[in-house]
Structure 1
Amino acid sequence: MVLDALVLAAWVSPIYYFSSLVGGEIARRIRRRKLGRRGRVEKVIFQIPTVGNAETTNRAFRAVKSYGFPVETWVVIEEGDDPSRYEADRVVVVPRGFQCECLYKARALEYARRLRKEMVERGELSPNYVLLQGDDDSIPSREFVEECLSVDADIVIGTITPRPVTVLGTLIDYERSVACGTQCNLFTNISSPVWGHGEAMCISSRVDLSVSYDVSDIGRSGQKLISSEDLFYLHKAVHKGFRRVYNSTAKVYITPPLSLRDAFKQRRRWMWGNLRIVLYGLLPLSSRLRILAAWILGLYTYTVSTLGIFLYHLGIVKFPDYLYPLLWATLVMWLLARGVSIGRAMGWKHGVLGTVASHITVTLNFVLHVAALLKGDPKKFEVIKKA
């Protein structure tokens, strides 16, 4: 009886995902209307932190510059990197001796943030700017930048759109578009975010000048932020009162992992970054519970749903006949939620392919995350190859 209930709960879970997809679009439209129009912005600071990936960084700078907006490009690098390799308006070199409550990428972002704050205080930078935070393997679309300039939000995040560089990487990263459609679009637009991603996060100057990457003023002191800095920052901003956050359906183009090894390193970094936030209390309890619930629901749904197929065919679990139309309907809901999310981000062909390959995608991600969990905390920010 208990086993039947567990399998049934997993098999009807697509009702939640489909409802989140529909509810997310409703919430986005309501939030977009309530936020209103942003006033005139003097400058978009497009910032990318990198550890030597000049080619992909410059490609992103050229793309965003070509949109015709008032963009100033910043690249944030470590000492030892060659500044002349970057086609940036400002090269920010993080001194080796700079210390704060975060490490790696978050440390570089905090140094650049403090630099902007000092520049504003000295009158060298007008506070009438927005910060477009990017990664060295992502390019925000023109539509996303337009929305950042038109929506009066504290923080805007876009919809992840994988570039189909490799078949394996694309299959794996279909899941990112699904997460945007079924979770980010709803929860971010009701000011209760779950995921945040730094591939393109637009931050208002009022947030940039007020909210740091430090842990001690929001979570347990003495802890260092190692990774998941984008998620941490989005949640922290909301807890600090900047609740006008907006999830846009405008595209942010990313490069999926180029190999299975890189996919593992990436997922391991994300998973343990999230777990450190939860286990070490880097954010308030409400944020940690949402993050933990999302992980548990995903792992539970896949494990029990897949196991349930075998248990059903072995006759170990059984359901009344009147439930079978519902179960078939929830299967359709699951496929629709995935297909619509992928199709909206990548086009209808990928929507169809992603729907057909749904179980392959979720299985690959499940295996990668379980392997990452078993491998343990890398305790550092592991980078992957970029193209």
Structure 2
Amino acid sequence: MWLLQWTCLPFFLIPLVELFLMCAGYVYGRRGYRIAPEKFRHLVIQITTVGREPELVRETIATLREYDLPMPHEIWVVLEPGHETSYPLADRVIEVPEGFTCQAVDKARALEFARIERALSGLNSFETKILFVDDDTLPTKAYIQRAFQGDYDLCQGVTVVNREYGTRPWRHFLLGHLDNIRTRNCLIYCSCTQGITGKPLFVHGEGLCVTGLVEDKITWDHPIVASDDLVFGTRASYAGFSWGFFHEHIQLVSPWTFTDAWAQRKRWTWGNFTAIRRRDILPLSVAIPKAAKYALGVVSVTASTIGAICLAAGLTKVPPQAHAVFWTSLATWFASYGLMGWINSGGPSNRRRFRHGAGHLAFRVGQTVTATLLCPPTAVLPVFVIIGSVLTGKPRRFVTIAKTRPGRERQIHAGHH
């Protein structure tokens, strides 16, 4: 028992370590992020979509046009064949031919085809930047400007799930809060490993900004089904290209159903598993830290739970100082998720929902309290996703999920008639 108690107790320090990392990453993103806008001459904002959410993509393009961006830019829509291609505000719509093949499949295949098109257009130099946007994501104007100005080969900012955050139906309300961990991981691990060390542990495809030169050298042509963003970003770092991280927001929508949420997370998990396992995808030196993070996540949750039970039951006899550390760390852990609720309930997409600032403030306070209370299941969920993914096996294809509120598609269709 003595060995068990002192083995478990160090894991209580993790929330305090993460708080330090979050603060360090924030300071870097605000003060250490280098900008050199004079180095870059052109921006391509690419929305990669299967093609099943045309109205949502059109809304995104319209918002991007309203930004009145100062740099020379164009908007591309890249989609699979057999879907609607009417995007009047886009500069270019690229339908990936059915016969186009490469090592990658599904989304990564579409990214590779677009890369080739850019190379043919002469947009594969260091002076061009490409900002990747999914069909359910919307970068703020500040995000786009910061990404374009960054004096790095690759950079990205903070993912926030604030589009439709805290809204009904209840499943979406809950899933939005379970997605708080995405913003938390971004603020802790992405900010430090992408920004401070330049060796990314995670990479999210939403809002990834790269130069045309990086894309031309690394390519998307790798034997992957998912995790194309992780593979691309880590391979680029391994090849010596520079990474930066900044504190602006790209806004996401959480899944609308439990089935979609499971499909999405299983896809991510197996994409990462495959990348970690195969040396033709990731070199061993960059695969090991990612595998270690997975292992640490499972072990820390298990050990912390056992340690907390032992303390509560009086089975663990430790000095008062250890108890003080435990309670401080526990409070920090809950507070960190409350902070994610505050962040994700903010932003322009949520401000527009309220006529007065007082209403928005009350909403944010309510979501912060909810996020704090949901801290344990939010933190533990990834462990069950990992275990469940292993037990149910690898998905055969890239699984897409609905991004539009259920029933809205019918409303849009009726409105067009």
3-state SS, counterpart of residue 91 of structure 1: strand
TM-score (norm 2): 0.83
**2:218/2:236 contact within 8 Å kept:** yes
Q: Aligned pair 1:186/2:192, yes or no?
A: yes
Q: What residue number does 1:95 align with? A: 97
2:142 and 2:302 map into 1 onto residues whose CA distance is: 38
Offset at residue 206 of structure 1 (A): 2.4
**2:177/2:341 contact within 8 Å kept:** no
3-state SS, counterpart of residue 75 of structure 2: strand
User: How much is the aligned-residue C-alpha RMSD, in angstroms?
Assistant: 2.2
Q: Aligned pair 1:381/2:380, yes or no?
A: no
**1:228/1:274 contact within 8 Å kept:** yes
Give 5+ residue unaligned stretches, structure 2: 347-363, 405-417
Q: What residue number does 2:338 align with? A: 339
Q: What residue number does 2:16 align with? A: 15
Give 5+ residue unaligned stretches, structure 1: 216-223
**AA in 2 matched with 1:290:** P
**1:159/1:345 contact within 8 Å kept:** no
**2:342/2:368 contact within 8 Å kept:** yes
Q: What residue number does 1:367 align with? A: 384
Choose 164-173 or 363-372, whichever is displaced more: 363-372
Offset at residue 71 of structure 1 (A): 3.3
**AA in 2 matched with 1:371:** G
2:258 equivalent among 250, 257, 260: 260
**2:21/2:189 contact within 8 Å kept:** yes
Choose 335-344 or 258-267, whichever is displaced more: 335-344
Q: What residue number does 2:204 align with? A: 197
Choose 125-134 or 257-266, whichever is displaced more: 125-134
Compared CA separation, residues 333 and 81, structure 1 to 2 (3 A): same
Where in structure 2 are the equivalents of 1:109-258 lying within 5 Å? 109-120=111-122, 128-162=127-161, 163=163, 164=165, 165=167, 166-189=172-195, 190-215=197-222, 224-243=223-242, 245-258=243-256
Offset at residue 86 of structure 1 (A): 6.6
3-state SS, counterpart of residue 179 of structure 2: helix
Offset at residue 76 of structure 1 (A): 1.1
Q: What residue number does 2:352 align with? A: none
Percent identity over the alignment is 28
Offset at residue 212 of structure 1 (A): 0.6
Q: Aligned pair 1:60/2:60, yes or no?
A: yes
**AA in 1 matched with 2:400:** V
1:139 and 1:208 map into 2 onto residues whose CA distance is: 22
**AA in 2 matched with 1:176:** R
Q: What residue number does 2:372 align with? A: 355
**AA in 2 matched with 1:194:** L
**AA in 2 matched with 1:248:** F
**2:30/2:247 contact within 8 Å kept:** no
1:126 and 1:179 map into 2 onto residues whose CA distance is: 32
**2:36/2:150 contact within 8 Å kept:** yes
Aligned residue pairs total 373
Offset at residue 237 of structure 1 (A): 1.3
1:126 and 1:22 map into 2 onto residues whose CA distance is: 35
1:106 and 1:185 map into 2 onto residues whose CA distance is: 25
Q: Deviations over 1:259-305 (max 9, x none)?
A: 11111111101111100011112212222122112212222222222
**1:160/1:345 contact within 8 Å kept:** no
3-state SS, counterpart of residue 83 of structure 1: coil
Offset at residue 351 of structure 1 (A): 4.0
**2:108/2:226 contact within 8 Å kept:** yes
**1:180/1:341 contact within 8 Å kept:** no
**1:181/1:341 contact within 8 Å kept:** no
Compared CA separation, residues 319 and 239, structure 1 to 2 (3 A): same
Offset at residue 103 of structure 1 (A): 1.0
**1:39/1:152 contact within 8 Å kept:** no
1:10 and 1:364 map into 2 onto residues whose CA distance is: 18
**AA in 1 matched with 2:299:** Y
1:61 and 1:126 map into 2 onto residues whose CA distance is: 25
1:299 and 1:18 map into 2 onto residues whose CA distance is: 19
**1:74/1:90 contact within 8 Å kept:** yes
1:154 and 1:341 map into 2 onto residues whose CA distance is: 29
3-state SS, counterpart of residue 50 of structure 2: coil
Compared CA separation, residues 345 and 192, structure 1 to 2 (3 A): farther
1:379 and 1:320 map into 2 onto residues whose CA distance is: 52
